[in-house]
Structures are given as structure tokens and as C-alpha cells.
Amino acid sequence: MMKAYVLVGAPGSGKSTLAAELAESENAVVISGDAVREELYGDAAIQGQWSEIADRIDELVSESCGLPVILDGTHYLASYRREALALLRSYGYTDVTAVVVNPSLATCLARNFKRKRNVPDYVIKGMHSKLQSSLNTLDTEGFNHVVFT
């Protein structure tokens, strides 16, 4: 059974920290949207073209096939989670867990302030709000497990 994890949370929620810990405990490969943007555009802050980013994420999942993988991204909308789940399923990942990292908005903003690469506050506020609205559909989105941290 091939295992995968889809991290869900606003910027500054602690997803990447959790991804690193989970990767160590599960011997998993972390595939990060930020790392892909850094690779493609030289800076994780450059949003770039989603089609290029998605293609590279697809390649990385393909290259990691057979190993547990962690998709480290916000996945704050149900449509983004469905896209991630479909990608993982297409490579044979049969045990996919959504890991929701959902601290308060104040915590996300405070953590973001301390980071080297800051996301604008209004972006975090919007993503955090949309995440809260989308969480009620998680149990119907097709994940094998949903974990709230």
C-alpha cells in the first residue's frame, strides 16, 4: 500500500515544519510548491505559472513513486485538494491522508512576521478564512484519513 500525505493550511501555519518531521518519521519524500517555485523561478516568492508548477510537481511525484510522499502546500480550497488527490491516485497512492495544520490566524500572522520570506498579511487572512469555510467538506473529498494537528 502506497502512502501519501496532503498538507492543508494557511501560510505560517507550520506545514513545512510538520512536513520535515513527518518525512523523517515516515521515510517520505517532501514535494513542496515553494521548493518547485524556487527551482523554476529562482525565488519561492514568485508565483509563476501554475501549469509549469503543476507539471513539475507531477514529475516529482512520478520520480518518487513507490516511496511515501508529502505534498507540502496550502491546499486551502477543496478544488486544490481534489487536484492533489487525483494526482496521487494516478500514480497508485492508495492510502492518502489529509493533514490539516490549522492554528489561529494570529499564530499564522506572527509566524509569518518572523520568517525570512514574508507573505502579505492580507493574503494570509484571505487564505485562512477560505480554509475555514472549506474544512466542512474534507470528510467527503475522498481521503482515506483526515488528521487535524
Please give the chain's pLDDT, 149 residues, in tens: 899 999 999 999 999 999 999 999 999 999 999 899 989 888 777 788 889 999 999 999 999 988 999 999 999 999 999 999 999 999 999 999 999 999 999 999 999 898 887 888 999 999 999 999 999 999 999 999 999 98
> Can you name the residues that pair with 97 across neighbouring β-strands?
5, 145
The domain locations on the chain are: 3-148
Contact (Cβ atoms closer than 8 angstroms) between residue 9 and residue 15: yes
Q: At what angle do helices 33-41 and 50-63 cross, to 10 degrees?
A: 110
pTM over 0.85: yes
> Any idea which architecture 3-148 has in CATH?
3-Layer(aba) Sandwich (3.40)
Give the C-alpha separation, 73 to 8, whole Å: 7
- What pLDDT is stored for residue 117 in this prediction? 79
- What pLDDT is stored for residue 147 in this prediction? 96
Burial of 54 (0-12, 13-18, 19+ CB in 10 A): middle
Give the C-alpha separation, 23 to 51, whole Å: 26
Q: Which of these, 113, 97, 84, lies nearest to 12 by C-alpha position?
A: 113
Name the grid cell of 82. Answer: 481534489
- What pLDDT is stored for residue 62 in this prediction? 95
| Region of residue 89 (phi > 0: left; psi between -120 and 50: alpha; otherwise: beta) | alpha
How distant, in Å, are the alpha carbons of 2, 108, 127, 147 from that of 100? 20, 14, 14, 6
Give the C-alpha separation, 28 to 22, whole Å: 7
